[in-house]
Amino acid sequence: MDIKLKPIGIITSKYKDKEGSPRQGRYSEEKSVVKVFNEYMEGLEGIEHHKYYMVFYWQDRAERDKLKVVPHGKTEKRGVFYTRAPVGPNPIGFCLVELLEVNGNELTVQWLDALDGSPFLDIKPFWKEVDSV
């Protein structure tokens, strides 16, 4: 079975490649812009009333066939599911972001680590009581 995702927007960022991007978006204060395609804009209604969101995007330049990686700062390989390495069978990028500005179909956020041009997939409000421990 294949499952098809629909890109619903595109992310603009200063990160042109993996080498130029932070290990986690949270470690940088760069701003990124999520541009939502017009046909999905209706789904943004009210979005400015919450501050923190979880952004899901597609890591289109990720290596999908890797199941083991050497994590940052380590020397031995680990299973990808025990790491935050941006590789693996379904490279869904995930970042908690702060929503700084909403301008029509453009969301300006910080803490996002998506490479420039990454397809945008989904955004959900962060609820501390269910999304954190």
Residues in contact with a second copy by CB under 8 A are 1-8, 24-27, 40, 42-47, 49-50, 52, 54, 56, 58, 60, 67-68, 77-84, 88-90, 92, 94, 96, 98, 111, 119, 121-133
Closest distance of CB 77 from a second copy, Å:
8
* Nearest in space to 56 (alpha carbons), one of 106, 10, 94: 94
Of residues 18 and 84, the one with the C-beta less far from a second copy: 84
| DSSP helix/strand/coil, 50 | coil
Tokens of 66: 């890797």
Closest distance of CB 103 from a second copy, Å:
15
End-to-end CA distance of the chain: 34
Closest distance of CB 115 from a second copy, Å:
15
Answer for the pair 67, 91: CB distance below 8 angstroms, yes or no. Answer: no
